[in-house]
Amino acid sequence: IYSSMLAVLSGVHPAIVFRTLLPLFEIPAAIGVIFLLLKELFSKSQKKALLGVIYYIFFALAVSEKMGGNCSEWWLFVNCWTGKALSFNVVIPLVLWLLLRLEKEPVGKTRTAYWITLFLVSGAACNIAATMFLILPIEIGTWGIFSLYRTRRWSDIWKYALSAAPAVL
């Protein structure tokens, strides 16, 4: 679905889009999302987050060299135009970052924006790879259960269900 959608929308031959244009966007997007995630985890030190990004790139390159086609890192650096690369190197960390932000953010406009973004990312992920239909509800549901328990924001249960709904449906 992802391949067909990009070819039709761009009007450019899929080989040109996949092998020339998408690597320019997907590899920096994956690294950027990892930086956001590490910045969230190391909120007191941006140096640690940047060091974590360097480690991520180093280990991802080392793993992709040794693992062949069996890991998400290989898909990112060798076949980054595929849905597997985009889903496991961009979408899953992005959803995790959004879930982390939602738990820390107080009620307000920014929190609403995060919920809307989570819903849109969840819906868009269904066009990328078939595995997202299974992975996203598990990720959102598992995080939601523990987040609801930690924060006692029981009124958010329908928001978690709505965020996972595109993949479930």
Nearest to 87 by CA among 45, 127, 115: 127
How far CA 17 is from CA of 10, 11, 23, 76, in Å, comes to 8, 10, 9, 16
Tokens 């595109």, residue located: 166
Instruction: Answer yes or no: are the C-beta atoms of 105 and 121 closer than 8 Å.
Output: no
What does the alpha-carbon distance between residue 74 and residue 26 come to, in Å, rounded to a whole number? 13
pLDDT in tens, the chain (169 residues): 666 777 888 888 877 877 788 888 888 999 999 999 999 999 888 999 999 999 988 888 887 777 666 666 677 777 777 777 888 889 999 999 999 999 888 888 888 999 999 999 999 888 888 888 889 999 999 999 999 999 888 888 999 999 999 888 8
What pTM, to 2 d.p., does this model score? 0.85
